[in-house]
Chains A and B, each alone.
Chain A
């Protein structure tokens, strides 16, 4: 409809449009990425370059893959205004289910994986029911779940580890893509896997094309876009970072399968949160539950499915974790929930809900992974690692609160 409203302009001043305000918003959103780069550089210097060595980059990805998968599910839970303390126990329980199916009952691995994911979904549905439909705070439900599913794990495994896993599962957790196309020489850098490099080129091309099309679409609709040099600079930085990691991996042992899986998950879930109706409803529920309800959002269903999703992702993490150790352990996954929650909050999620990004949670998870890895490279004792991780978490959230308060005060 078109309203032709010929009304007198009242004296409400337009909100300030000065550069200062825009910059502070950017700082809040991009602070996490700047911090990530700074931390990587710091440890690169402290370790004399070992941080970015081919094998070490590969290690960081493989060692943190399950936490990153959990962080993707956790950020959705936190955006919706809830929390899940049970994911560590779900990782253990689903790992146990997978082990029993594959090792004790010789179920073919694809079927076993599927069943395990369904079990994860059912666990999520159980918790989602109590939170969404029965109205018990998620903190309580998942605290109970943390104990409950740990007990289930002990029950399934009978207080011992079960292994080894079939080759396929170990490859998914620990393995690398084959050198389908052979190696090529990169001069001083030595030989590198051509297939991995091609994947890297495709990824970079994908980034350029999608960013370009998105920008062109915005321009076509008359929206304000960032200055062209900044746009190009961002793409160049992203492309260089991606290619650097890929080249290093190609020089080591090609692409870890978990990286391929993670990349697919990050892409898919970013799209879900940004573009899907369901994703938008998660933000609406977390931002203002009553307003979402009165806008026709089925808020209970949204919360329910978020917990189901968390369960499925926890099961995926459980399979990968068990496969990596080549054994399902009763104590496996202990305190994973804390790492996943910390990743989400370091990555810019708000305690009150309604705010957060998948890429932010991944970056938060990587920050902790880099700190773990870097500090162990320089031989720091584990209590120091904990100290630093705790300080980083507190600092990240304090920074978020501070920028928010400053934005509020400048009104």
Chain B
């Protein structure tokens, strides 16, 4: 049992401005199921990408010993050659190809350069039997549900003679039956001698399946625990424990009347028919108040925010929205902006900025009509507005004619905030405003958020970082599996308490 198959020692990995992994150690025993737990951004996925060669040797510090040999993977093919296969959270299947074609993608069963379809399909059928996938090998993957697609991924891994299987949030998108089947399958694979590393937010599943658990926090290894006798509370306290001193600017909240209320908000998935993303959510915001929305990845935070923001996401949306006590309808983003709602996206590069344009044109993008008379924009006014934000928000760029794509993450975020402040909103929804931003710039963003609240705006702050919510918010809602599971005033909020609410009902049927 004490046979170590994998030892990662002193792993460090930096991205521009962010230290994602800091001297991480991990030991995995042969034939065990090893779970890795941690908050979003704790470094779990990065660690697994280092292990599987997505980040090649030289891109990180530290050493990896696998099966007694030091490994220097130059890419994912090298690690697969050694029997290490990673299945990402976002499944990497070609949906227009058949199950068999997907299983042998990049590893085609060919003879003299031509694919031997009989051998391909027969071998695929054998692998599918092993993972309990009862389908025809020539069925297109897009005709399968997510649960079965997950099984195709595992069959694909088996086809590569996998000996160490890494699964990143394998059950995040699965219903209970599919999850249970998957966990059974993993136990079966363990009995066949395949070692598993599983990343999961669902602590009940972790306890049900894992032999040992390693907890990461802020890019560091906290501890590795035996699963025997382990409790969810023990894992949670390991995931969240850290000090909050001096990381947040001081603020004296002055909270006014209710300005925004959402009742019975329900949203369905636009891609998966019938799947609920947000279920019956109700919350309110008051003037000058910073309200947090806590939830793990996949809890439906962004979906909730974007569906409110002029139905920018989701289908089958129902529920009511009240602004200053009157019901309003927000059928488009334009209407939401007109009603004084702003939404700063979690993915500023993809959804927030026009990266090929300069700062001033990004700042004016949502409030262009305020700069225009009869449809004509006043360039000079635009420059002046953008320049005033550059100064007041301390955007570090030579001028507002600098291209936003060349700014650092923190400065890009300030441009996004400028854009929305310029629309003069009453309600600002900030989705992960400090994601991928270094510590100094975070402090500046916090200061801006505090100032906005001081100016009487209501702020809904979505964040994966519990300390951030505890450091800034007056009230915190928790969201789990699309449902609001709690509303906690700042005075009563603790990381452990929030984490418990955030994982509440994770296993319950949707």
**Complex CA–CA separation, A144 to B187 (angstroms):** 55
Residues 313-352 of B, flagged 1 when their CB comes within 8 A of A and 0 if not, give: 0000000000000000000111011000001010000111
- Tell me the B365-419 residues at the A interface (CB within 8 Å): 365-366, 368-369, 372, 375-377, 379-380, 383-384, 387-388, 392-394, 396-399, 401-402, 406-408, 410-411, 419
- Tell me the B34-66 residues at the A interface (CB within 8 Å): none
Instruction: Enumerate chain B residues within 8 angstroms of A276, measured Cβ to Cβ.
Output: 375-377
Contact check, A3 vs B448: say whether CB atoms are below 8 A apart.
yes
B133 lies within 8 A of chain A by Cβ: no
Q: Which of A91-99, A158-166, A220-228, A231-239 contacts B (4 or more CB under 8 A)?
A: A220-228
Q: Separation in Å of the A220 CB from the closest CB of chain B?
A: 7
Instruction: Enumerate chain A residues within 8 angstroms of B394, measured Cβ to Cβ.
Output: 5, 7, 9
A30 lies within 8 A of chain B by Cβ: no
Residue of A at shortest CB range from B403?
A407
7 A-B residue contacts at CB 8 Å?
Answer: A1-B455, A8-B443, A12-B411, A280-B377, A287-B356, A296-B334, A350-B356
Contact check, B369 vs A7: say whether CB atoms are below 8 A apart.
no
- Tell me the A272-295 residues at the B interface (CB within 8 Å): 274-278, 280-281, 283-284, 287-288, 290-295
Band of interface residues on A: 35 or more
Instruction: Enumerate chain B residues within 8 angstroms of A277, measured Cβ to Cβ.
Output: 368-369, 372, 375-377
Contact A411/B440 with A14-B397, A218-B380, A292-B365 known, Cβ cut-off 8 Å: no
Contact check, A280 vs B361: say whether CB atoms are below 8 A apart.
yes
Instruction: Enumerate chain A residues within 8 angstroms of B406, measured Cβ to Cβ.
Output: 15, 411
Instruction: Enumerate chain B residues within 8 angstroms of A281, measured Cβ to Cβ.
Output: 368
Residue of B at shortest CB range from A299?
B333
Instruction: Enumerate chain A residues within 8 angstroms of B451, measured Cβ to Cβ.
Output: 3-5
A87 lies within 8 A of chain B by Cβ: no
A11 lies within 8 A of chain B by Cβ: yes
Contact check, A295 vs B380: say whether CB atoms are below 8 A apart.
no
B140 lies within 8 A of chain A by Cβ: no
A330 lies within 8 A of chain B by Cβ: no
**Complex CA–CA separation, A287 to B349 (angstroms):** 11
Contact check, B343 vs A294: say whether CB atoms are below 8 A apart.
yes
Instruction: Enumerate chain B residues within 8 angstroms of A274, measured Cβ to Cβ.
Output: 379
Instruction: Enumerate chain B residues within 8 angstroms of A8, measured Cβ to Cβ.
Output: 440, 443
Instruction: Enumerate chain A residues within 8 angstroms of B392, measured Cβ to Cβ.
Output: 1-5
Contact check, A12 vs B375: say whether CB atoms are below 8 A apart.
no
Contact check, A287 vs B355: say whether CB atoms are below 8 A apart.
yes
B284 lies within 8 A of chain A by Cβ: no
Instruction: Enumerate chain A residues within 8 angstroms of B376, measured Cβ to Cβ.
Output: 275-277
Contact check, A354 vs B354: say whether CB atoms are below 8 A apart.
yes
Instruction: Enumerate chain A residues within 8 angstroms of B364, measured Cβ to Cβ.
Output: 280
- Tell me the A1-57 residues at the B interface (CB within 8 Å): 1-5, 7-12, 14-15, 17
Contact check, A15 vs B421: say whether CB atoms are below 8 A apart.
no
Contact check, A296 vs B337: say whether CB atoms are below 8 A apart.
yes
Instruction: Enumerate chain A residues within 8 angstroms of B350, measured Cβ to Cβ.
Output: 288, 290-291
Contact check, B334 vs A298: say whether CB atoms are below 8 A apart.
yes
Instruction: Enumerate chain B residues within 8 angstroms of A220, measured Cβ to Cβ.
Output: 380
Q: Which of B309, B356, B401 contacts A355 (CB 8 A)?
A: B356
Residues 260-277 of A, flagged 1 when their CB comes within 8 A of B and 0 if not, give: 000000000000001111
A217 lies within 8 A of chain B by Cβ: yes
Residue of A at shortest CB range from B366?
A295
Instruction: Enumerate chain A residues within 8 angstroms of B407, measured Cβ to Cβ.
Output: 15
**Complex CA–CA separation, A17 to B398 (angstroms):** 7
Q: Separation in Å of the B448 CB from the closest CB of chain A?
A: 7
B438 lies within 8 A of chain A by Cβ: yes
Contact check, B375 vs A295: say whether CB atoms are below 8 A apart.
no
**Complex CA–CA separation, A83 to B53 (angstroms):** 40
**Complex CA–CA separation, A350 to B354 (angstroms):** 14
Contact A12/B441 with A3-B451, A277-B369, A294-B345 known, Cβ cut-off 8 Å: yes
Contact check, B354 vs A292: say whether CB atoms are below 8 A apart.
yes
9 closest Cβ contacts across the A-B interface?
A10-B440, A287-B354, A3-B392, A295-B366, A296-B334, A295-B365, A221-B380, A288-B354, A296-B337
Residue of B at shortest CB range from A404?
B356
Q: Which of B310, B334, B383, B393 contacts A3 (CB 8 A)?
A: B393
- Tell me the B139-153 residues at the A interface (CB within 8 Å): none
Contact check, B361 vs A283: say whether CB atoms are below 8 A apart.
yes
Contact check, A14 vs B380: say whether CB atoms are below 8 A apart.
no
Residues 264-285 of B, flagged 1 when their CB comes within 8 A of A and 0 if not, give: 0000000000000000000000
Q: Separation in Å of the B353 CB from the closest CB of chain A?
A: 6
Contact check, B355 vs A5: say whether CB atoms are below 8 A apart.
no
Instruction: Enumerate chain A residues within 8 angstroms of B224, measured Cβ to Cβ.
Output: none
Q: Separation in Å of the B417 CB from the closest CB of chain A?
A: 10
Contact check, A223 vs B402: say whether CB atoms are below 8 A apart.
no
Given contacts A7-B394, A223-B380, 6 further A-B contacts (CB under 8 A): A12-B396, A12-B411, A15-B397, A218-B380, A280-B364, A284-B365
Q: Separation in Å of the A5 CB from the closest CB of chain B?
A: 5
B312 lies within 8 A of chain A by Cβ: yes
Contact check, A288 vs B361: say whether CB atoms are below 8 A apart.
no
**Complex CA–CA separation, A2 to B444 (angstroms):** 15
B70 lies within 8 A of chain A by Cβ: no
B357 lies within 8 A of chain A by Cβ: yes
B447 lies within 8 A of chain A by Cβ: yes
Contact A217/B356 with A1-B455, A5-B448 known, Cβ cut-off 8 Å: no
Q: Which of B352, B410, B438 contacts A294 (CB 8 A)?
A: B352
**Complex CA–CA separation, A336 to B31 (angstroms):** 68
Contact check, B393 vs A5: say whether CB atoms are below 8 A apart.
yes
Contact check, A354 vs B356: say whether CB atoms are below 8 A apart.
yes
Contact check, A293 vs B312: say whether CB atoms are below 8 A apart.
yes
Residue of A at shortest CB range from B335?
A296
Instruction: Enumerate chain A residues within 8 angstroms of B310, measured Cβ to Cβ.
Output: 296
Residues 131-157 of A, flagged 1 when their CB comes within 8 A of B and 0 if not, give: 000000000000000000000000000
Contact check, A294 vs B397: say whether CB atoms are below 8 A apart.
no
Contact check, B365 vs A10: say whether CB atoms are below 8 A apart.
no
**Complex CA–CA separation, A345 to B182 (angstroms):** 52
Residue of A at shortest CB range from B408?
A12
**Complex CA–CA separation, A29 to B298 (angstroms):** 44
Contact A275/B377 with A7-B447, A295-B365 known, Cβ cut-off 8 Å: yes
Residue of B at shortest CB range from A279?
B377
Contact check, A296 vs B366: say whether CB atoms are below 8 A apart.
yes
Instruction: Enumerate chain B residues within 8 angstroms of A280, measured Cβ to Cβ.
Output: 361, 364, 368, 377
Contact A288/B345 with A276-B375, A276-B376 known, Cβ cut-off 8 Å: no
Contact check, B353 vs A288: say whether CB atoms are below 8 A apart.
yes
**Complex CA–CA separation, A5 to B448 (angstroms):** 7
Instruction: Enumerate chain A residues within 8 angstroms of B312, measured Cβ to Cβ.
Output: 293-294
Q: Which of B334, B361, B402 contacts A15 (CB 8 A)?
A: B402
Instruction: Enumerate chain A residues within 8 angstroms of B402, measured Cβ to Cβ.
Output: 15
Contact A295/B377 with A5-B392, A354-B357 known, Cβ cut-off 8 Å: no
- Residue in A8, A11, A12 whose Cβ sees the most chain B Cβ within 10 Å: A12
Q: Separation in Å of the A31 CB from the closest CB of chain B?
A: 18
Contact check, B421 vs A221: say whether CB atoms are below 8 A apart.
no
- Tell me the A290-323 residues at the B interface (CB within 8 Å): 290-298
Residue of B at shortest CB range from A298?
B334
Residue of A at shortest CB range from B334?
A296
Instruction: Enumerate chain B residues within 8 angstroms of A275, measured Cβ to Cβ.
Output: 376-377, 379
Q: Separation in Å of the B441 CB from the closest CB of chain A?
A: 6
Contact A217/B448 with A287-B357, A292-B365 known, Cβ cut-off 8 Å: no
